[in-house]
Chains A and B, each alone.
Chain A
Amino acid sequence: DAGVIQSPRHEVTEMGQEVTLRCKPISGHDYLFWYRQTMMRGLELLIYFNNNVPIDDSGMPEDRFSAKMPNASFSTLKIQPSEPRDSAVYFCASSRPRDSPYEQYFGPGTRLTVT
């Protein structure tokens, strides 16, 4: 398996623009997680899905952030409108607890810069 795939790897955008980050989880995994990592706050869980259904979105910073998982092989994290403080690395991770309890597999991340 190719692992968790994220695109784009780098995104530079201007304040106020819409940004969409994409994730393809490992085939067969039924949990998907979105994280944000900054120097100031470290790794933070934004939202996670189980079987394509959002379970906990309490980590989403504000209404400008939204996430969807239309099917088992694709998820998006959208920021609209973007702000400079959204600059961070965004990671997607997936897991299959019945095979490997507590194990999560992370993608390479998307480095977002908002100017």
Chain B
Amino acid sequence: KNQVEQSPQSLIILEGKNCTLQCNYTVSPFSNLRWYKQDTGRGPVSLTIMTFSENTKSNGRYTATLDADTKQSSLHITASQLSDSASYICVVSPRAGKSTFGDGTTLTVKP
């Protein structure tokens, strides 16, 4: 069964600090992995998309990494800002069939 597990479930950090969110998956055969940011009361917004051949992708202060051999991905946030407070969702898609969504990590950035 395809699964996506995200950790930690929630995280609190101080403004300006860095943090790393984890995503482990069992989806196979793998096609792509996406990280979304979802602000409270809003729809998810795409941060990064990585295919099998990509092992890192950046979007401003967000950097995602992918290890297709160990089936792990991480999202690193540099110099966090208050506006980074949100839920971060990892989505993994197989080459055929439906995507599997993680439960998300809730990040709170405090001043």
A residues with a Cβ closer than 8 A to B are: 4, 42-45, 56, 58-59, 91, 93, 101-109
Q: How far is the CA of A78 from the CA of B34 in the complex (A)?
A: 29
For B93, what are the chain A residues with a Cβ–Cβ distance below 8 Å? 102
Residue from A58, A103, A107 within 8 A of B43 (CB atoms): A107
Q: List 10 A-B contacts (CB under 8 A).
A: A42-B102, A45-B99, A91-B43, A93-B43, A102-B32, A104-B46, A105-B46, A106-B44, A106-B45, A108-B41
A103 adjacent to B46 (CB under 8 Å): yes
Q: How far is the CA of A41 from the CA of B98 in the complex (A)?
A: 16
From 79 to 109 in chain B, residues with beta carbon under 8 angstroms from any chain A beta carbon are: 89, 91, 93, 98-99, 101-104
Minimum CB distance partner of A100 in chain B: B49
The answer to whether the Cβ of B1 comes within 8 Å of any Cβ in the partner chain is no
Q: How far is the CA of A42 from the CA of B104 in the complex (A)?
A: 8
Q: How far is the CA of A101 from the CA of B98 in the complex (A)?
A: 15
For B44, what are the chain A residues with a Cβ–Cβ distance below 8 Å? 43, 91, 106
